[in-house]
Amino acid sequence: MWDWNYTLSFIPELLGALKITISATFVGFFLACLLGLPLTMARRSRCKPLSLVTAGIIEFIRSTPLLAQVYFIFYVFPNYGLSLSPFAAGVIALGIHYATYLSEVYRGGIEAIPKGQWEAARALNFSKSRTWIKIILPQAIPPILPVMGNYLIGMFKETPLLSAITLVEILQVAKITGAQSFRYLEPITIVGILFLVLSYISSIGVQRLETKLNRR
Amino acid sequence: MKLNITKPIIKYRNISKSFGSLRVLNDLSLDIAPNEKVALIGPSGSGKTTLGRLLMTLERPDAGTIEVDGEMLWHKEVNDQLMAADEKHLHRIRSKIGMIFQQFNLFPHMNVLRNVTEAPIHVLGLSKEEAKEHAVAMLKKVGLGERMEHYPSQLSGGQQQRVAIARALVMKPKVMVFDEVTSALDPELVGEVLAVIKEIASEGEMTMLLVTHEMDFAREVADRILFMDGGAILEQGPPEQIFGNSQNPRTRDF
Ligand SMILES: Nc1ncnc2c1ncn2[C@@H]1O[C@H](COP(=O)(O)OP(=O)(O)OP(=O)(O)O)[C@@H](O)[C@H]1O
Ligand SMILES: [Mg+2]
């Protein structure tokens, strides 16, 4: 049933593609973390119109399929002079999509800080930036790290979507390999195992982090 | 000690403040002399906390002015015109004021020592060594010399409040607002906090605005008692007068 020689023959190529999958995940997540910040700030702005428009944008991005956004960036942007490689288009789409989730996570973390912390900071005459850096963020970030970790894992599992814009990530490689040799069992199974193992290890990491944070 | 009321350090002038349609302070004026200890008493919702928070710049007045040590707090005088003060101005005047809160508001992610050194280092620009020296001295003074490595969650309420007092005092404010600083404490912990405040008060060199329900404490520490109701000062005078034979039936009831 299972052909080990065949399996060994495509493993190197698969591991090469795994690099692409993992870098797409990390670059996309890095973008999402960055883009989430201005979204949070705009959402929390005292300027009502800005806050409402941002809430609208966030809602729109969250409730349309990621695949549609990926297509849009890859196939529609070139019409306006912006042609992107599959990798670039993919990570931008992932980054924007997940930024909307992360911005809400940030917002939750910040709003969980009691008003008294802001007031104590003001009473001690901390500047705005010092208040953020020394008082608010050190309290807001640790509790949201596990949630962010779970989004990282979620994003990793969504990367095969990028094969739709010809990015050669692992599932795509598995599919091509299968099509060439008419044997799908081994490549697809191995991809499944790779996803399982990596997600599982990461989620154990997240759990560890969570217990560590809860102990404090 | 002689109080110089002709040269007040704090001047509230015709202050009004509303939250939505609720008028909390109503054209209130008040002078406080340098080093004077003023106790604010009155029923719940009468505006006592708000009066203190305006001074700490935690709330902005709707109308009226507040002067601190000869300068407008919320305003700047530009060509004889009052303009809303910018953050730079507020920052400068705010350095003269400190406040202790009902809920302590210590920074939970810092140990006791860092709670007390953080502002001197990052706001006053002291070196770490200097800040630590001051903090240690102040923590000893409030009886917490042995607890400097502890985190706030490892302390009793009374200890936390004493840390908060040390944290405010190392900033060397001229005026301190104490907003019902013992009302979140278990009864057996009230005494240790009041004792610390009494000690600071007895040293003289500090103007204090004390919002309190502890009448014995007010009588003992305050030079003057203000009775507030409905956003105004109904009656004021030395403790003997207010607690002895108040003219005002509402004060007497209270
Ligand atoms: N930020 C706010 N928003 C809305 N209403 C407020 C706010 N702060 C205070 N109030 C209301 O203003 C009124 C006066 O409040 P304040 O806290 O000054 O009273 P207080 O005299 O300190 O009362 P207490 O003895 O209960 O502490 C209260 O009715 C309170 O509910
Ligand atoms: Mg109050």
Residues 31-50 of A with CB under 8 A from B: none
Percent of chain A exceeding pLDDT 70 equals 100
pLDDT band at A129 (very low <50, low <70, confident <90, very high): very high
Q: Give chain B's mean pLDDT.
A: 92
- Measured between alpha carbons, how far is A30 from A121 in angstroms, rounded to an integer? 30
First to last CA, chain B: 29
Its pTM stands at 0.88
Please state at what angle helix B187-203 crosses helix B157-169, rounded to 10 degrees: 20
Residue of chain B minimizing CA distance to A117:
B105
**R_g of chain A computed on alpha carbons:** 21
ipTM: 0.93
Q: Under a CB-based contact definition with an 8 Å cutoff, are residues B191 and B120 in contact?
A: no
Q: What is the pLDDT of residue B204?
A: 82
Q: What is the pLDDT of residue B135?
A: 96
Question: Which residues in chain A have Cβ-Cβ distances shorter than 8 Å to B58?
Answer: 119, 122-123
Residue A10 confidence class, pLDDT cut points 50, 70, 90: very high
Compare all CA atoms of chain A with the CA of B114 and give the residue at the minimum distance: A134
**At B28, is the secondary structure helix, strand, or coil?**
strand
Expressed in angstroms and rounded, the spacing between residue B107 Cα and the centre of ligand 2 is: 22
pLDDT band at A216 (very low <50, low <70, confident <90, very high): low
Angle at B104 (CA atoms; ends B103, B110), nearest 5 degrees = 130
- Give the pair of three-digit tokens for residue B20: 């939505």
pLDDT grade, residue B83 (50/70/90)? confident
- Closest residue, chain B, to A130 (C-alpha): B122
B164 within 8 A of B100, measured Cβ to Cβ: yes
For position B160, what pLDDT does the model report? 96
d(CA A72, CA B248): 76
| Cβ atoms of residues B207 and B176 within 8 Å | yes
Instruction: Check pLDDT > 80 for residue B250.
Output: no
**Closest residue, chain A, to B109 (C-alpha):** A139
Residues with CB under 5 A from ligand 2 (ion): B 49
What are the structural domains of chain A? 4-215 (1.10.3720.10)
Is A122–B118 a contact, with Cβ atoms under 8 angstroms apart? no
Please determine, for residue B253, whether its predicted confidence score (pLDDT) is greater than 80: no
Q: Of A122, A124, A145, A215, which to mutate for an interface test with B (greatest number of B Cβ within 10 Å)?
A: A124
Q: Is B49 in the pocket of ligand 1 (CB under 6 A)?
A: yes
Distance from CA of B169 to the nearest CA of A (A): 10
Q: Residue A159 carries which DSSP code?
A: G
B1 band by pLDDT with thresholds 50, 70 and 90 = low
> Among A56, A5, A43, A63, which residue's Cα sits nearest to residue A181?
A5
Provide CB contacts within 8 A for A129, sequence distance 6+. Answer: none
Higher pLDDT, A35 or B253: A35
Q: Residue A210's pLDDT is what? A: 86
Closest CA to ligand 1's atom 25 = B44
> What is the C-alpha R_g of chain B?
18
Residue B254 is predicted with a pLDDT of: 73
For residues A4-27, one letter each, b for 16 or more C-beta atoms within 10 angstroms of the residue's C-beta and e for the rest, the string is eeebeebeebbeebbebbeebbeb
Distance B49 CA to ligand 1 centre (A): 7
CB contact under 8 A, B91 and A127: yes
**Residue B245: pLDDT over 80:** no
Contacts of A120 in chain B (CB under 8 A): 101, 105-107, 164
Neighbours of B64 (CB within 10 A): 17
Sorting pLDDT into bands at 50, 70 and 90, what band is A1? confident
Q: What percent of chain B has pLDDT above 90?
A: 83
| Ligand found nearest the CA of B24 | 1
What was the pLDDT predicted at A173? 92
The Cβ of residue B114 has, within 10 Å, a number of other Cβ atoms equal to 19
Alpha-carbon gap, residue A73 to A87, rounded angstroms: 11
Round the average pLDDT of chain A to a whole number and report it: 94
- Name beta bridge partners: B209: B38, B177
Check whether A28 has a pLDDT greater than 70: yes
* CA nearest ligand 1 atom 30, residue: B45
Mean pLDDT of B183-204: 93
Mean pLDDT of A10-16: 92
In this prediction, residues A143-165 reach a mean pLDDT of 94
User: Could you report the per-residue pLDDT of A61-117, keeping only the tens digit for each?
Assistant: 999 999 999 999 999 999 999 999 999 999 999 999 999 999 999 999 999 999 999
Structure tokens at A17: 């593609």
Q: Which of A114, A128, A139 sits opposite B109 (nearest CB)?
A: A139
What's the number of CA atoms in the CB half-sphere (13 Å) around residue A5?
A: 1
